[in-house]
Every structure is written in structure tokens, then in C-alpha cells.
Amino acid sequence: MSFLAINGGEPVLKKDEIKAWPPIDKIDEDYVMDSLHSPQHAFGKHFEAFEKEFTQWVGAKYGRPTNSGTSALHMCIAGCGLGCGDEVIVAAYSWPSSATCILHHNCIPVFVDIDFPTINIDINKIESAITPKTKAIIAVHLHGVPVEMDPLIAIAKKHNLYVIEDCCQAHGATYKGIKVGNFGDCAAFSQNQNKVLCAGEGGFFVSNNEEIFKKASLLWNFGETKAPYEKRDNHAYALGWMYTPNDMTCAFGRAQLSKLDSYLKQIKENAMTLESTLKDVPGLILPYVPDDCVSNYYNYTIRLDCEKFGFGGRKKEFRDKVIEALAAENTQIGLWQTFILPKMTVFLAQNAYGYGCPWDCPHSEAKPYDPEAYPMAQLHTDTHFGMTYPLRNPNGPEIAKKVGQAIIKVLENIKELGL
């Protein structure tokens, strides 16, 4: 087992040993087939039930199912009444949707570096990014690790800013015993394939503020004030998109929601097994979760302390070779995001809609996006790797332990990689 699979050795895991996510059972089949054979495939009974059930599960007052997490984030921007030229602060490392949702409503993203241990926005650097045009902060609970919300909200209150929670990866994660999605003015979730609540695709908008909910709902459904299952006048009262999901997707989401708490329990057990396997391995930086937070371990993210392996000046090259070796061990370990947001073309070019818009619009101010200004985000990007499916149901602790053993195997045989 000590001879690396990348060089012809025996892999730690068999090719199909890690089972697919999400597990499908009779509950899923019954709900989806019931929707399929119903006469109402848009805004049917599963849509209405999912709207109520997920909103209650989060603990929010108001909620809307959406067709993606990205559309739910856009609804957050619209719900807070943000518009052309308004600046919104967001972490420099996240999925592009955390920042492009700002562009969708002609607002301007302003990036803040991350706190390296948590990979979330560095709260201590937020105030220096605030200008007279700043209107909101997006708190991205990345990889299921909650942002420390009390100090972030204190900054927002001091400067009269909205707080939007990006919970797309954080279903069930808690801060001080309360589920994320209940701290800001509104929040967005995703039901994408990779999420701990999977409906294939989809999302969810929630808020405890009725006015924000109503404004967001205008965007959700053609600018109308009523949902399609309510009495409608078919009149557009504001700029609107079509962000509604179909009934079958909601049926799948409902079925998976009925099992979500058990999923989260298993994922945490698997994550703790992996952590106990790796805790004494030199050169690994394991996930950090603050004491007042509970992660859902959406993505178990590890960083390499490349200096300890003698590759301080070749971090990315070293990390990429380690991932290649881990893939050969059938671990399903890989990269999640390979660019910090300020390095992405749409932000560097400042030309989202042509003619320099929205940065060049009359009410906006161009922002200097200097990638060198976000060293912690770049360090993380160059040194991380992670996993989702190996820790997900129906896989158990035995798989998590084997993944850990594969990581140890590769690191103990670094010389075989020929670097």
C-alpha cells in the first residue's frame, strides 16, 4: 500500500467504493412520481408544501423556492432595495455567484480579504472597505462554516448597512445555537447537485422582514405582486425575472428535506472520523470551526503547509501534484475554486454589460480590483484541496478513514511524485 497508485501501486480505495450522492430511496420516488402524475407541474402541491416546510426548517418567517441559489442571491439584493451604483461588500474568495448577484442589479462589488483559518470574510477588514456608497454586506458561510455574525452585524448597524447571508453551502450550520439564515436581513440557499440538500438544482430565499420579502418576490415572478398560485392581476410593478422552480424539483427537494437532519448527523460523524485520522499529520491545516459555530461540513477543506514539505516557493505546483496522486487513490478529492474573485475577468475588465457598465454608469464609481490586495485569499486558493461526496451518505466512517489513510500515504511518499 506504500507504493503510490499514480505510479502503478494499489489504490487505497476501489474505483467505485465511494457511493454516489444523494442516496435515492422510495420517499424520493414516491414524491417525484406523485408530482409527475399530478395535473399541476408549475406551482403545484409540492411547490406549496416545500415553500412552507423549508421555511419552517430554517426557522424564518417568509420564504420562496427558487430555480437556483444564484437567483435567490439576486433576490436578496433586490429585496434590500439596492440599485445602480450601490456598493456591496463581499469576501474575495467564494463562488462567483456571491459577487455576480451584485452585478445583476447594477450594484458594485467591493472585495475584502478572507480570514485564513475560517476561509470566511475577515471581519476586521470590513470597515476599511466602507464608503458613502456602501449599502450592504454579504456574509458567505463558506463550506458550511458560519461567519461570526455578532461583530459583522455590529459593523452593519454602525454604518446603517443591510446584511445578506449567503447560506448556499450552509444548510443546518449554526451560530450560537441558531441556524444561519436568521441573522441578516435576508438569506439565500442552494439545492444544487453538490449541496447537502440536493434537488438536482434549485434554491431558496428567506427573510424575517415582510417588506424585504415582498420586494424580493417582485423580482422572483415577472415583477408581479402576487405569486402565481394567488389571485393575480398580471401587471408588472417592478423589474422582474422568472426565478420560480417547477413542482417536480420541489417534490425532490421535499423528499430530501425529510432526511436532511439524518444526513447532517452522518456527515459530521464522517468528518470527525477523517479529522481524527489526520489530526497528527504534519504539514496539514485542517478545517477550523470557531467555538460558537457548528459547521455542516459541506466541503471538508484542507490546506497544505507547503513550507514544511520544502515547497514554499512552488505552492500551487506542489498542491496540484498532491491532488493528482490522491485522485489515483480513488479518493474523489479535488479543487473547489481555483481563482480568487478579484482575478476573474468580469471584475478586472469592469465591463459586465458592455460600455463599462455597471462601473461606468452615472451613479457608480469604478473600483480598483488589485488581486495583490487579497493575500490570504490567494494563499488559500494555492494550497487547498477538499472533498464533498466521500463524507456524504450513504458513505460511512469507514470510507472517511480510508480517505484519510490515502492522504497520509501520499504525503509519506512525496518523493515518488518527482517534484
Q: Residue 152: name the closest of 164, 134, 169, 168 by CA.
A: 164
User: Among residues 235, 258, 281, which one ends one of the domains?
Assistant: 258
Reference 6, options 353, 419, 417; nearest CA is 417
Which pLDDT value is given to residue 227? 74
Tell me how far apart the alpha carbons of residues 322 and 410 are, in angstroms, rounded to a whole number: 7
Question: Are 250 and 216 in the same domain?
Answer: yes
Let me know if residue 343 belongs to a domain.
Answer: no
12 and 52 share one domain:
no
Q: Any idea what the CATH number is for the domain that residue 36 is in?
A: 3.40.640.10
Whether residue 191 is found in the same domain as residue 324: no
- Are the beta carbons of 412 and 36 closer than 8 angstroms? no
Q: Convert the pLDDT of each residue in 147-160 to its tens digit.
A: 999 999 999 999 99
Instruction: For residue 62, list its beta bridge partners.
Output: 207
User: Domain ends where: 206, 225, 258?
Assistant: 258
> Which residue(s) pair with 168 in the sheet?
none
CB 383 within 8 A of CB 123: no
Is residue 344 a part of any domain in this protein? Answer: no
Residues 100 and 213 in one domain: yes
Rg of the chain on CA atoms, in Å: 22
Query: What nine digits make up the cell of 204?
Result: 431558496
Same domain, 161 and 289: no
pTM for the full predicted model: 0.96
Do residues 296 and 144 touch, judged by C-beta distance below 8 A?
A: yes
pLDDT of residue 340: 98
198 and 280 within one domain:
no
The verdict on residue 290 lying in a domain is yes
Domain that holds residue 298: 5-21+260-337+377-417
Residue 399 C-alpha from the chain's centroid: 24
Q: Is residue 329 within 8 Å of 311, Cβ to Cβ?
A: no
Residues in the chain where the model's pLDDT stays below 70: 1-2
* CA–CA dist 35, 163 (Å, integer): 36
CATH for 406: 3.90.1150.10
How far apart CA 137 and CA 155 sit, in angstroms, is 10
Is residue 254 situated within a structural domain? yes
Determine the pLDDT at residue 81. Answer: 97
Q: Where would I find the beta strands (DSSP E) of 26-183?
A: 62-66, 87-91, 108-112, 134-140, 162-166, 174-175, 178-179
Overall number of domains in the chain: 2
Give the position of cell 451518505: 393
What pLDDT score was predicted for residue 1?
53
To 10 degrees, what angle do helices 397-412 and 315-328 make? 130
Answer yes or no: do 69 and 213 share one domain.
Answer: yes
pLDDT of residue 20: 96
Gap between the Cα atoms of 102 and 77, Å rounded: 7
Place of cell 420586494: 215
pLDDT at 21: 98
Between strands 284-285 and 300-304, the pairing is: antiparallel
Distance set, CA 47 to CA 130, 177, 232, 253, 275 (Å): 40, 29, 18, 9, 39
If asked whether residues 188 and 320 sit together in one domain, one would say no
Strand pairing category for 87-91 and 293-294: unpaired
- Specify whether 41 is located in the same domain as 93: yes
- The CB density around residue 412, as the number of other CB atoms within 10 Å, is 12
Decide if 281 contacts 406 (C-beta within 8 A): no
The Cα angle at residue 267 between residues 149 and 295, in degrees rounded to 5: 10
Within a domain: residue 369?
Answer: no
